[in-house]
Amino acid sequence: MKARWLGLISCMLMVSVSQAFGPGHGSARANNKSGIVFEQSLTLQAAVARARQTGQAVFVDFQASWCGPCRQLKKTTFQDAAVAQFFNQQFVNLAVDVETGEGPVLAEQFEIKALPTLIILNSRGEVVGRTVGFQSADQLLAFARKALHRL
């Protein structure tokens, strides 16, 4: 099982590095110190319930502590001011470590094959958007807007 994960992660790392240094590298976006606010104490079920109450969607970041592209997302893209503002207004944001808590069960349920995997759910818990690998701020915003149009 670990060998499979390592192989998948190695592939994703190569893709992530190429995306990180592709077009748009060196963008002069302002950083927001607080970044995307991820709910720390919510289960996925509770996040979906909150989304239903607030009229928002759910953004789920499937990640692991050892995942380099996951750490890069947290350090850069998730700290981008425009990304943070958009995601904090539009979504109930949830970070799921695939190795702890409900993470292993959710990783199996959502067929997570590589990290990071970013999923957007509607207020019924149905997947309306899914992307894998490091995303620049512009890529993440485009992905989120496209998913929101599917609600």
- Of the listed ranges 24-38, 44-58, 135-149, the least confidently predicted one is 24-38
Residue with tokens 């099982």: 1
Is residue 98 within 8 A of residue 12, CB to CB? The reply is: no
pLDDT confidence bin for 100, thresholds 50/70/90: very high
| CA angle centred on 133, ends 129 and 134, rounded to 5° | 105
| CA angle centred on 69, ends 135 and 94, rounded to 5° | 70
DSSP lists the bridge partners of residue 118 as: 61, 131
Is residue 118 within 8 A of residue 131, CB to CB? The reply is: yes
E strands in 7-137: 57-63, 91-97, 117-121, 127-132
DSSP lists the bridge partners of residue 93 as: 59
Higher pLDDT, 19 or 112: 112
pLDDT confidence bin for 34, thresholds 50/70/90: confident
Give the per-residue pLDDT at 136. Answer: 98
2-21+35-148 maps to which CATH number? 3.40.30.10
Is residue 64 within 8 A of residue 99, CB to CB? The reply is: yes
Q: Residue range 120-146: average pLDDT?
A: 98
In Å, how far from its chain's centre is CA 100? Answer: 17
